Amino acid sequence: MSPAPDHASMPGRFHPGPVASHAGLLEPVAGGKAVAAGTGMGGHTRRMRIRRRNPCLVEFEDVLVPDLSALLRGRARLDSSISASLLCPVAGRKLPLSADEVGVIASLSADRWHPVADVAESRALPIATIHSMVDRQLVCSDGDDPAATRLREAEARLESIGWHPHAAVYHALSGWQGVSGEEGSRCHAAIAQVERLQRHASSHGRLPSHFHRRDDALDRVRLPPEPFDDDFARVLRNRRTTRHFRKGVPLPLAHFTRLLHGTFGAMGTETLAPGMVAIRRTSPSGGGLHPIEAYPLVMDVEGLQPGFYHYEPATHMLALLESIPSNPARELAATLLIGQTYFAQASALVFHVARIDRHHWKYRRHPKAYKAVLLDSGHLSQTFHLLAAERALGAFYTAAINDVDVSRRLHLDPLREAVIAANGVGVIDHRQNELHLNPEPYAPRPDALAC
């Protein structure tokens, strides 16, 4: 068996690489274009009032810093210091806080305005310190300058759409922009992969065993053998992740259409109450809401101009959003999939974009709501995979995407529309197998209890 690519067993690969950067969930969008969140509000007055950010999640971390006293004695040593930051869903990043600033924030209400002069006096701090906090969006102000207004509006929209504060922060801070992994260029030879995994094990210990067994089971019941070789079972068994695609062989339109309709199409609708319509797809969805939209990036599908589309299940039409010639579309695909060049050889990608406002309309500030949206995407992906397997096409699913860049390219409103993951489909290149997981067949056996 040639080993699968490292991500098959190393979830750590989803951690941002050195070039990662983030952008805010709520970064305001004007005229279809993202607007950089401004900082310098200027024009501060003593009459200005401030309040705590909402949500206001503060994180404390130990950071290693050079030990200066040891350095003066000619020795290089590291010391640790505690750093605090506000986890900001608007900017999509951590905003550093000093100890004085933590104290100021802890003294503020999120519902009431506090005059800047009073805050400065009660904390024994210069007014300039509080003004600087306003500039760095560590607090909200009642100023009427554009940056202050945008921040207040963004927080109000966050609240009205129904984002759970923890989910909003997690979603915004886990967004990727311009991340470029090394998957496309690293050596995929079996020996190199084994060495990488062994190095990983030497740092993090052994991988927990592949089959799990409860030692506290009261009894074990032997189940009747289950034949699993009918047509449906064969489709399920043939599902796999494909990373080798035939270049210059376009995907027949009928196949692409079947995948889109079979995965994202509406199989039925039901009016739950006046104006409230649930749809049924071939996959389940929390609350029957189906918040996930399909945005294909077509590179080589028969009869379709390459470019970015939105699939409209209502009419079974593709709405062309941007025409992009095939080669640039492939380059764009590789960039948006953080340099996974093997996926860019597929015929089309399909980005999953969740309409958070539809979903959270029902599940307002619900601690499970964001998780349910991610699960919806996983279900849709499996359906997409199975439809591809049934037609002997290659498919994949990836969460390692520059979601912030996708959002900007599609002119999405990041508050209402969350880019989650991407599927892809193409014609399999059976001459190559290096990048695939190639497991030996397995059937349950009683003596496996020992493993």
- Footprint of ligand FMN on this chain (CB under 6 A)? 4-5, 7-8, 240-241, 340, 396-400, 437
B/e letters for 314-337, b = 16+ CB within 10 Å, e = fewer, are eeeebeebeebeeeebbebbbbbb
Is 126:107 a contact under the CB 8 Å cutoff?
no
* Least CB distance to ligand FMN at residue 348 (A): 17
Residue whose CB is less far from ligand FMN, 8 or 102: 8
The Cα–Cα gap between 17 and 184 comes to: 14
* Least CB distance to ligand FMN at residue 14 (A): 7
Residue whose CB is less far from ligand FMN, 407 or 423: 423
The Cα–Cα gap between 179 and 189 comes to: 24
Q: Helix count (H) and strand count (E) of the chain?
A: 13, 16
* Least CB distance to ligand FMN at residue 345 (A): 12
The Cα–Cα gap between 39 and 138 comes to: 11
Report how far apart the first and last C-alpha atoms of the chain are (Å, whole number): 20
The Cα–Cα gap between 419 and 171 comes to: 10
How open is the CA angle 57-62-65, to the nearest 5 degrees? 130
Residue whose CB is less far from ligand FMN, 94 or 436: 436
* Least CB distance to ligand FMN at residue 377 (A): 8
* Least CB distance to ligand FMN at residue 437 (A): 4
What is the number of residues in the chain? Answer: 451
Residue whose CB is less far from ligand FMN, 133 or 422: 422
Q: Is 403 exposed, middle or buried (0-12, 13-18, 19+ CB in 10 A)?
A: buried
Residue whose CB is less far from ligand FMN, 124 or 443: 443
* Least CB distance to ligand FMN at residue 349 (A): 12
Residue whose CB is less far from ligand FMN, 239 or 280: 239
Residue whose CB is less far from ligand FMN, 241 or 345: 241
* Least CB distance to ligand FMN at residue 16 (A): 13
Alpha helices in 205-304 (DSSP H): 231-238, 253-264
* Least CB distance to ligand FMN at residue 337 (A): 7
* Least CB distance to ligand FMN at residue 263 (A): 15
Is 176:16 a contact under the CB 8 Å cutoff?
yes
Read off the amino acid at residue 5: P
Nearest to 24 by CA among 383, 337, 415: 415
Is 3:388 a contact under the CB 8 Å cutoff?
no
3-state secondary structure of 356: helix
Residue whose CB is less far from ligand FMN, 184 or 250: 184
- Which helix (H) or strand (E) segment holds residue 78: the answer is strand 78-88
Residue whose CB is less far from ligand FMN, 137 or 398: 398
Nearest to 318 by CA among 333, 347, 296: 296
